[in-house]
């Protein structure tokens, strides 16, 4: 910071004293230093004059002032951690300003012919570049300079993300609302424009809160919102270009998104109509405090670096010799000829693990004939893991995949550092591997929206899960993502323990952040169902259809945290080994999994479920129907392959991360990247050693059925909560036995509200817990309730 201040003084001084100091600077090394120093007029002495001469006169002119500013900001961040402006963006902006102002000044100096007196403003760069441009284009060089600014602004402002206000509709709606029924404006509390600042990091709201005239009308619908069946989904294919290859290749991310044209939320409930606050007022609020930034929870958090991943020197590229290619081609041709199939041409594309030979059959050859000869062809080619794709989807060709003799190891580092992953704008980008044409395949877990993984033991499933987790950890800030890790095998995911205070979520009463015990798994799954219901309530109150919209609204400070609104991180539930859970708990785990899979996509809970045994009693119809994206490593039989992928092929894979991804009825062969346990350990240590939250993200409390019975007996009604009567009246008035209602209306924490509900149950005012549905209210009116309360006091 001191250096920055020194430079600022030197540069500013040079603007007036520069001309006098030029001769001193020019002869500084040939004259005695003391004499030169005495002659210098720059306020920062001879050194200041010299440095300013280089930066101002030779290079940037007045634009050089930007450099000490960058240094000042960097110094401020280094020494105090404060970042009044985002450092990276500001640096880019200032550096561009330095260059551009030099060019503009250079143009003016050139056309006014004032180089003698004014070239200190443009610096050498501005003047020389303009001289060159001017001799080439004349006044047209100004257009170049202007275009430079335009290009920069397009990049800097990120034009794709600008939200254009739809003025005509907005104005019309607002006027007609105000004109026809001014009372309408306040009937919804969704926008919640005002409250005192409460966010821990930045103040949120400062405007006084207009009081909504109506009671919360949504409460009655809350439960229906989550128990309804989901709407049909529409599928799209998002594409991303692959700058690495130089040719515009595309990678499909086979995704499902909620049907954009439907008027209902995922849960089948029409969102409440919302009152859009005056855009200008809202802008004021954002202008005052900036957009809400969840990452300020842990402002110093450093994302893991690619250096934590090992660079594997060997086998970086698949090495398939031309001999191997020709030999395989000939064998394929001969084999097909033996079966009476003539071909027109054959073409090979070399992938990391297998090479795909694409065959164009001669006219008149029936594809079904080739398909029926699949086994014979494989036998003749005598290589393990031959897969025949007849026909190749979307093309009139037949594909034969033959494993390479030397396969390529796809390192995690190579995919994490790829442009396609780094530039991915997906919400939850996961890099699944490399395709047959060596493209890196990145998918969006948020749109998948859940993933079922199978594979016989030792074929790469654990590595696959680690790859998925690593991708997410590299891309997401701890405030944006929470992981629920279920590991019945107890050893697979233990390394991730270290992420407890950053990325993990757990039940409040649980010591271990990684869940290994079946009973706890059941409780956690049910707790996630409650979290899902709570989130649907929040979304419904905010009038949003999905998590992204909700968080965007919260970021724009349109949702009041005092009303329970908060930034909602994505939750990814990983289950390593479903078979074990299904054997020990069966329906108890199947039902919450199916329920989450059915409904949770819109509120940002995504499931990744892995199993060794893809048999029908593990992957039941109920589970399978709700996991559109499925991934299979090598399995032991064709039947297993059919169970997981609905088609054969996975039994012919070659292992070690060779896999098939089925998504939206596409089947893609991928080579999973490799990540070692040492690398995972390094990443977890890197993250875990940083400052984190005080504890893991707390999931809602859940008391299991038998636990519930036990608790009921434990509840001591003589020792009732002081808010007991009030809570009872609230429940009876609303005829809805929900903890969140008590929480919201009486402004209580979840635990206290939970205890109150237990006491109300013990007093027979509400019925027993029924999964994630609200409890029955057993008292129909207030008179009856007052009687009961009196009796309780009498006791
Ligand atoms: N993507 C990959 N690239 C290269 N080798 C791999 C890859 N994935 C797995 N392997 C190799 O296969 C071995 C077994 O992988 P992994 O431990 O993931 O199997 P698994 O299916 O999880 O087995 P289990 O079910 O017994 O835990 C690894 O130790 C590694 O040597």
Residue nearest atom 5 in ligand 1 by C-alpha distance: 656
Q: Is the pLDDT of residue 212 over 50?
A: no
CB atoms within 10 A of CB 598: 16
461 annotated binding-site participant: yes
Binned at pLDDT 50, 70 and 90, residue 772 comes out as low
**From the CA of 454, how far away is ligand 1's center (Å)?**
13
The whole-number pLDDT of residue 215 equals 34
Mean pLDDT value across residues 405-424: 88
Atom in ligand 1 nearest the alpha carbon of residue 465: 18
The whole-number pLDDT of residue 480 equals 92
Nearest to 550 by CA among 539, 536, 537: 539
The whole-number pLDDT of residue 233 equals 32
Dump pLDDT digits (tens) for 128-180.
898 888 888 888 888 888 898 988 888 877 665 555 554 443 333 333 333 33
The whole-number pLDDT of residue 68 equals 92
Task: Check pocket membership of 458 for ligand 1, CB cut-off 6 A.
Answer: yes
456 annotated binding-site participant: yes
Q: Which of 89-93, 427-431, 788-792 has the lowest mean pLDDT?
A: 788-792
Residue 397 CA to residue 389 CA, distance in Å, equals 9
Binned at pLDDT 50, 70 and 90, residue 384 comes out as low
CATH fit for domain 412-534+568-697, picks 3.30.160.60, 3.40.50.300, 1.10.150.20, 3.30.70.20: 3.40.50.300
Mean pLDDT value across residues 619-642: 89
Dump pLDDT digits (tens) for 345-383.
888 888 888 888 888 888 887 777 777 777 777 777 766
Mean pLDDT value across residues 656-668: 87
The CATH architecture to which 322-403 belongs is 2-Layer Sandwich (3.30)
457 annotated binding-site participant: yes
Task: Check pocket membership of 656 for ligand 1, CB cut-off 6 A.
Answer: yes
737 annotated binding-site participant: no
Binned at pLDDT 50, 70 and 90, residue 225 comes out as very low
The shares of helix, strand and coil residues in the chain, as percent rounded to the nearest 5, are: 50, 15, 35
Q: Is the pLDDT of residue 252 over 70?
A: no
| Contacts (Cβ under 8 Å, ≥6 apart) of 53 | 14, 18, 21, 22, 25
Residue 416 CA to residue 402 CA, distance in Å, equals 27
Mean pLDDT value across residues 625-630: 88
Task: Check pocket membership of 461 for ligand 1, CB cut-off 6 A.
Answer: yes
**From the CA of 484, how far away is ligand 1's center (Å)?**
22
**Complete DSSP assignment for 714-746:** H--GGG--TTHHHHHHHHHHHT-B-HHHHHHHT
Atom in ligand 1 nearest the alpha carbon of residue 433: 1
Mean pLDDT value across residues 319-326: 82
Binned at pLDDT 50, 70 and 90, residue 455 comes out as very high
Dump pLDDT digits (tens) for 510-558.
888 898 888 888 889 999 998 998 888 889 888 888 898 999 988 888 8
Hey, which of 354, 431, 459 would you mutate to test ligand 1's pocket, going by the most ligand atoms within 8 Å of its Cβ?
A: 459
Prediction pTM value: 0.58
Strand partners, 726: none
Provide, rounded to the nearest whole percent, the portion of the chain with pLDDT above 70: 80
**From the CA of 493, how far away is ligand 1's center (Å)?**
14
Question: For residue 363, which phi and psi values (nearest 5 degrees)?
Answer: -60, 140
Task: Check pocket membership of 352 for ligand 1, CB cut-off 6 A.
Answer: no
Residue 454 CA to residue 578 CA, distance in Å, equals 10
93 annotated binding-site participant: no
Task: Check pocket membership of 634 for ligand 1, CB cut-off 6 A.
Answer: no
The whole-number pLDDT of residue 580 equals 84
Token pair recorded at residue 348 = 């090979």
Instruction: Provide the pairing of β-strand 629-632 with 658-663.
Output: antiparallel
**Complete DSSP assignment for 181-223:** -GGGGGS--SS--------SSS----SPPPPPSS--GGGGGHH
Angle at 624 between CA 623 and CA 630, to 5 degrees: 125
Rg, Å, the chain Cα set: 33
| Contacts (Cβ under 8 Å, ≥6 apart) of 331 | 380, 381
Atom in ligand 1 nearest the alpha carbon of residue 456: 21
Q: Is the pLDDT of residue 214 over 60?
A: no
Token pair recorded at residue 105 = 């000044």
Taking each helix axis from N to C terminus, what angle separates 87-111 and 66-80, rounded to the nearest 10 degrees?
Answer: 170
Q: Is the pLDDT of residue 310 over 80?
A: yes
123 annotated binding-site participant: no
The whole-number pLDDT of residue 490 equals 81
Residue nearest atom 28 in ligand 1 by C-alpha distance: 460
Strand partners, 346: 359
Dump pLDDT digits (tens) for 47-91.
888 899 889 988 899 899 999 999 999 998 888 877 788 888 889
The whole-number pLDDT of residue 69 equals 92
**From the CA of 459, how far away is ligand 1's center (Å)?**
5
The whole-number pLDDT of residue 194 equals 33
Task: Check pocket membership of 397 for ligand 1, CB cut-off 6 A.
Answer: no
The whole-number pLDDT of residue 421 equals 92
Task: Check pocket membership of 353 for ligand 1, CB cut-off 6 A.
Answer: no
Strand partners, 48: none
Residue nearest atom 6 in ligand 1 by C-alpha distance: 656
Atom in ligand 1 nearest the alpha carbon of residue 457: 25
**From the CA of 386, how far away is ligand 1's center (Å)?**
21
The side-by-side arrangement of strands in the sheet containing 398-403 is 343-350, 354-361, 398-403, 387-389
Dump pLDDT digits (tens) for 274-304.
444 444 455 566 776 778 888 888 888 899 9
Q: Is the pLDDT of residue 487 over 80?
A: yes
Angle at 432 between CA 258 and CA 594, to 5 degrees: 45
Task: Check pocket membership of 462 for ligand 1, CB cut-off 6 A.
Answer: yes
Write the burial class of residue 425 (CB in 10 Å: 0-12 exposed, 13-18 middle, 19+ buried): exposed
- Does the predicted interface ipTM exceed a cut of 0.95? yes
Hey, which of 353, 412, 458 would you mutate to test ligand 1's pocket, going by the most ligand atoms within 8 Å of its Cβ?
A: 458
Mean pLDDT value across residues 721-734: 89
Atom in ligand 1 nearest the alpha carbon of residue 455: 21
Binned at pLDDT 50, 70 and 90, residue 430 comes out as very high
The whole-number pLDDT of residue 285 equals 67
Binned at pLDDT 50, 70 and 90, residue 651 comes out as confident
Question: What residue spans define the domains of the chain?
Answer: 2-161, 322-403, 412-534+568-697, 703-794
Mean pLDDT value across residues 740-750: 82
The whole-number pLDDT of residue 9 equals 92
Task: Check pocket membership of 459 for ligand 1, CB cut-off 6 A.
Answer: yes
Residue nearest atom 20 in ligand 1 by C-alpha distance: 458
Residue 41 CA to residue 324 CA, distance in Å, equals 76
**From the CA of 776, how far away is ligand 1's center (Å)?**
50
Residue 210 CA to residue 259 CA, distance in Å, equals 35
**From the CA of 672, how far away is ligand 1's center (Å)?**
10
Question: For residue 481, which phi and psi values (nearest 5 degrees)?
Answer: -145, 135
Residue 674 CA to residue 633 CA, distance in Å, equals 14
Binned at pLDDT 50, 70 and 90, residue 591 comes out as confident
Mean pLDDT value across residues 484-492: 86
Residue 536 CA to residue 34 CA, distance in Å, equals 76
User: Which helix H or strand E contains 433, and what residues bound it?
Assistant: strand 429-435
Hey, which of 440, 462, 494 would you mutate to test ligand 1's pocket, going by the most ligand atoms within 8 Å of its Cβ?
A: 462
Task: Check pocket membership of 460 for ligand 1, CB cut-off 6 A.
Answer: yes
The whole-number pLDDT of residue 273 equals 39
Task: Check pocket membership of 463 for ligand 1, CB cut-off 6 A.
Answer: yes
The whole-number pLDDT of residue 284 equals 63
The whole-number pLDDT of residue 541 equals 87
The whole-number pLDDT of residue 704 equals 57
Task: Check pocket membership of 431 for ligand 1, CB cut-off 6 A.
Answer: no
Task: Check pocket membership of 457 for ligand 1, CB cut-off 6 A.
Answer: yes
Mean pLDDT value across residues 375-393: 75
Let me know: does 253 contact 236? Beta carbons within 8 Å. Answer: no
Hey, which of 656, 658, 661, 676 would you mutate to test ligand 1's pocket, going by the most ligand atoms within 8 Å of its Cβ?
A: 656
Residue 44 CA to residue 25 CA, distance in Å, equals 13
Dump pLDDT digits (tens) for 553-584.
888 888 888 778 889 999 999 998 888 888 88
Nearest to 730 by CA among 692, 667, 777: 777
Residue nearest atom 14 in ligand 1 by C-alpha distance: 458
Provide, rounded to the nearest whole percent, the portion of the chain with pLDDT above 90: 19
**703-794 has which CATH code?**
1.10.10.10
Task: Check pocket membership of 674 for ligand 1, CB cut-off 6 A.
Answer: yes
Average pLDDT of the chain, as a whole number: 77
């Amino acid at each position: 910071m001191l250096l920055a201040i020194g430079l600022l003084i030197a540069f500013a001084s040079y603007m007036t004293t520069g001309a006098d100091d030029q001769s001193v600077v020019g002869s500084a090394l040939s004259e005695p230093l003391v004499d030169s120093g005495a002659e210098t007029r720059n306020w920062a002495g001879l050194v200041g004059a010299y440095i300013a001469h280089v930066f101002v006169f030779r290079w940037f002119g007045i634009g050089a002032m930007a450099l000490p500013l960058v240094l000042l900001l960097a110094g401020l961040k280094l020494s105090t951690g404060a970042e009044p402006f985002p450092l990276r963006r500001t640096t880019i902006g200032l550096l561009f300003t330095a260059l551009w102002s030099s060019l503009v000044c250079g143009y003016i100096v050139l056309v006014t012919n004032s180089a003698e007196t004014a070239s200190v403003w443009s610096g050498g760069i501005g003047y020389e570049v303009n001289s060159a441009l001017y001799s080439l284009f004349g006044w047209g060089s100004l257009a170049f300079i202007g275009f430079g600014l335009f290009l920069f602004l397009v990049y800097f402002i990120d034009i794709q993300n600008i939200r254009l206000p739809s003025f005509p509709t907005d104005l019309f709606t607002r006027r007609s609302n105000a004109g026809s029924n001014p009372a309408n404006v306040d009937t919804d509390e969704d926008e919640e424009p005002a409250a005192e600042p409460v966010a821990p990091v930045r103040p949120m709201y400062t405007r006084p809160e207009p009081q909504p005239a109506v009671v919360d009308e949504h409460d009655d619908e809350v439960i229906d919102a989550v128990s309804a069946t989901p709407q049909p989904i529409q599928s799209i294919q998002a594409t991303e270009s692959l700058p690495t290859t130089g040719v515009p290749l595309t990678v499909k991310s086979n995704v499902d998104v909620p049907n954009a044209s439907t008027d209902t939320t995922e849960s089948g409930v029409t969102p409440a109509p919302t009152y859009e606050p005056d855009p200008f007022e809202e802008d004021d609020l954002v202008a005052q405090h900036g957009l809400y930034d969840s990452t300020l929870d842990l402002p110093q958090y450093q994302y893991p670096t690619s250096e934590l991943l090992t660079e594997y020197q060997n086998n970086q590229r698949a090495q398939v010799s031309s001999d191997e290619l020709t030999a395989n081609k000939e064998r394929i041709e001969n084999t097909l000829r033996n079966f009476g199939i003539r071909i027109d041409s054959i073409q090979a594309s070399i992938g990391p693990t297998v090479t795909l030979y694409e065959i164009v059959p001669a006219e008149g050859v029936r594809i079904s004939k080739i398909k029926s000869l699949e086994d014979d062809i494989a036998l003749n080619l005598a290589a393990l893991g031959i897969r025949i794709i007849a026909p190749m989807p979307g093309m009139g060709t037949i594909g034969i995949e033959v494993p390479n003799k030397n396969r390529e190891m796809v390192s995690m580092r190579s995919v994490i550092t790829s442009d396609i992953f780094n530039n991915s704008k997906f919400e939850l980008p996961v890099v699944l591997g490399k395709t047959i044409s060596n493209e890196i395949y990145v998918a969006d877990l948020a749109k998948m929206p859940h993933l079922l993984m199978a594979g016989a033991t030792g074929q790469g499933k654990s590595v696959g899960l680690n790859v998925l987790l690593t991708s997410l950890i590299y891309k997401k800030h701890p405030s944006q993502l929470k992981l629920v890790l279920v590991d019945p095998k107890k050893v697979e995911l233990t390394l991730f323990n270290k992420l407890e205070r950053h990325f993990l979520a757990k039940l409040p009463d649980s010591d271990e952040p990684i869940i290994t015990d079946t009973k706890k798994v059941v409780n956690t799954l049910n707790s996630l169902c409650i979290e899902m219901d709570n989130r649907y309530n929040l979304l419904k109150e905010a009038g949003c259809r999905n998590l992204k919209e909700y968080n965007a609204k919260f970021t724009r400070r349109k949702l009041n945290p005092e009303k329970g609104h908060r930034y909602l991180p994505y939750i990814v539930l990983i289950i390593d080994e479903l078979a074990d859970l299904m054997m020990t708990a069966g329906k108890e785990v199947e039902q919450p999994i199916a329920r989450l899979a059915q409904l949770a996509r819109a509120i940002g809970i995504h499931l990744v479920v892995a199993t060794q045994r893809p048999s029908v009693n593990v992957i039941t119809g109920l589970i399978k129907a709700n996991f559109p994206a499925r991934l299979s490593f090598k399995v032991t039989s064709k039947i297993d392959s059919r169970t997981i992928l609905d088609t054969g092929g996975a039994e012919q894979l070659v292992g070690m991360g060779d896999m098939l991804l089925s998504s939206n009825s596409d089947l893609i062969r991928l080579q999973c990247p490799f990540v070692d346990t040492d690398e995972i350990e390094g990443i977890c240590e890197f993250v875990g050693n940083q400052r984190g939250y005080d504890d893991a993200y707390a999931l809602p409390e859940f008391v299991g059925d038998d636990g519930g019975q036990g608790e009921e007996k434990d509840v001591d009604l003589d020792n009732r909560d002081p808010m007991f009567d009030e809570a009872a009246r609230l429940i009876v008035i609303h005829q809805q036995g929900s903890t969140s209602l008590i929480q919201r209306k009486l402004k209580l924490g979840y635990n206290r509200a939970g205890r109150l509900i237990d006491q109300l149950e013990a007093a027979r005012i509400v019925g027993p817990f029924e999964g994630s549905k609200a409890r029955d209210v057993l008292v129909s009116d207030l008179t009856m309730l007052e009687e009961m309360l009196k009796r309780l006091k009498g006791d």
